Structure 1
């Protein structure tokens, strides 16, 4: 058991390196990469298959708290975070993050990737189309922002992600400059992940079938491996954001969403 745990830890160190770079570059917490990777890695480490999805989601959200937090800190230093936007969406994303962890116990696990993959593909198409259309829209009022934040929080928690894949296109649609959208999504993602992680920890407390070194559904060997490297590589992704033109970032992000959405839909 110790050997398989050490193997999982080593693999998560490698995984975390890529996750941190994506977090800094795209404003995402890396859950779109972490969850599928853990779904494959955890059974190889001897984790009961019935627990894999919940552990993957919870551990992903826990890693996003730290990874997105580190990414947000770098973006704040670079002036890429609009605190007024984050503040307007915060109540919704907190409630949505908690709600998503509760709904995860009720919705069939096999259905969630299909639903979310369709959302991701639609967002990618929207972003590609928006490159050809120049519009200036004002952000909606406070109530609409809270509702939007709530929807983003629910879907993000259900999918074990920080919400950057939803928040960045949402802010971009309203004309928020891309660097600001990515930076603000990083901070918002940390808030979503924190609320979602709290819900998954509470749901798993007292479950005697969970592996050792777990806090609720959060599996510490995987979490520590991921964040050990991801928190170091976020700075490089954040620095790259400030050097790339907005159009390049939009294209890269849209292609990234198309790839992930297609993989999730095809299983």
Structure 2
């Protein structure tokens, strides 16, 4: 692998610190893990370091999940203090989410990069469309029976493990489709991040364990160096996102997040069309 210049190394460190700051802020603001920011940034960093897309993408996803662990804990605690987390729903979702995450993590060891990117684009486009059309879509005005809720939990875990996100975006979509107010959905989604990130991180470590083409600092598909460079700024900004989430209007939050998701989708679509991973 080619040695990087000191300027390039500094730029990489700065990019990771910035990604951590935005990841933490989004975790608090939208109740999401921030993987929509960290996955593409980590992917580009690992590509620049000389890793093939077949390694760079699962490594980006696994490392993103590791970063989501502390940010989701801080975010969930902040929302819990404001009394807007649905703890009963989190109890129902705990086991199904774990099963979904385990399946998604197992797929990480055999799936091509285009699967990760394709899942990301499809789900994010659906969420963005809902947000930008005013969020008026409804399946019902209340949560469904427990059997359906458990199925939802498994889907949230599976999709989130493949996308490298904390599940907040997907669970937000599900909850608002069933009439849950946006601020309660955001707060509960922060708790979902905790349920997904911990087993997801462990699963990606196991999926990549022993591979010879990983960087020397990696534990399976988790880069320890990237994790350590990203965490300080992400922890710092999470609490600011939580505070802002309870001050801004739901319309502003929804439309801003929708625009952000469209930009991320565009980035992955360009990469897929160009065959660049």
Q: TM-score, normalised by structure 2?
A: 0.88
Aligned residue runs from structure 1 range 1-267, under 5 A: 8-47=12-51, 49-129=53-133, 131-132=135-136, 137-267=141-271
Rounded to whole Å, the distance in 2 between the matches of 1:112 and 1:48 is: 15
Give yes or no for contact 1:8–1:221 (8 Å, CA) kept in 2.
no
Deviates more, 1:133-142 or 1:38-47: 133-142
C-alpha change, 1:251 and 1:6, in structure 2 (3 Å) is closer
Rounded to whole Å, the distance in 2 between the matches of 1:237 and 1:125 is: 23
Rounded to whole Å, the distance in 2 between the matches of 1:122 and 1:134 is: 14
> How far did 1:64 drift?
0.7
Deviates more, 1:104-113 or 1:1-10: 1-10
C-alpha change, 1:8 and 1:88, in structure 2 (3 Å) is same
Aligned residue pairs: how many?
A: 267
Give yes or no for contact 1:101–1:199 (8 Å, CA) kept in 2.
yes
Rounded to whole Å, the distance in 1 between the matches of 2:263 and 2:20 is: 20
Q: TM-score, normalised by structure 1?
A: 0.91
> How far did 1:41 drift?
1.0
- The gaps in structure 2 that reach 5 residues or longer are 272-277
Give yes or no for contact 1:19–1:230 (8 Å, CA) kept in 2.
yes
> How far did 1:154 drift?
0.6
